[in-house]
Amino acid sequence: MPPKIRVLIADDHRLFAEALEAILAADKRIEIVGRAANGEEAVGLAVALKPDVILMDIAMPKLDGLEAVRLIRDKQPAAVILMLTGSNSRTDVDRARVSGAAGYVTKDLIASELIEAIVGAAD
């Protein structure tokens, strides 16, 4: 069996992050290595834990997700970061790509698309 995909969740909504962790933990290909509640914590954990995939909310306290992505990409150019958001506006998608995100998943599609997005991004 191939090694598990190590995932860091960065989302300031605790209940959403816990639900997301439960969904992902049910997949044997994925291991949750950490959870950040704000952008600053996400940068620190990304550098310390070196996850394979980082799930990053756009709107977070202390440091928004887009700036956190830029900082992580500076420190870990190979980081694979998927943006999570409730918005599917074209502007947000474009801003996520410019910041260095590898992909963009809206929170309403989490259960149906996120696991495959993670597995695809990690390949």
Domains, the chain, with CATH or none:
1-61+81-89 (3.40.50.2300)
The pLDDT value recorded for residue 107 is 73
Q: What is the pLDDT of residue 87?
A: 67
pLDDT in tens, 13-35: 999 899 889 988 888 999 999 99
- Widest Cα–Cα separation across the chain: 40
pLDDT < 70 stretches in the chain: 87-88, 109-112
Find how far residue 4's CA is from the centre of its chain: 16
CA distance 96 to 2: 30
For 95, list phi and psi in degrees, rounded to 5.
Answer: -65, -40
With 0-12 CB in 10 A as exposed, 13-18 as middle and 19+ as buried, what is 64?
middle
Amino acid at 44: G
What's the pLDDT tens digit per position in 68-78? 999 998 998 88
Q: Alpha helices of the chain — where are they, by DSSP H?
A: 14-25, 39-49, 65-75, 90-99, 110-122
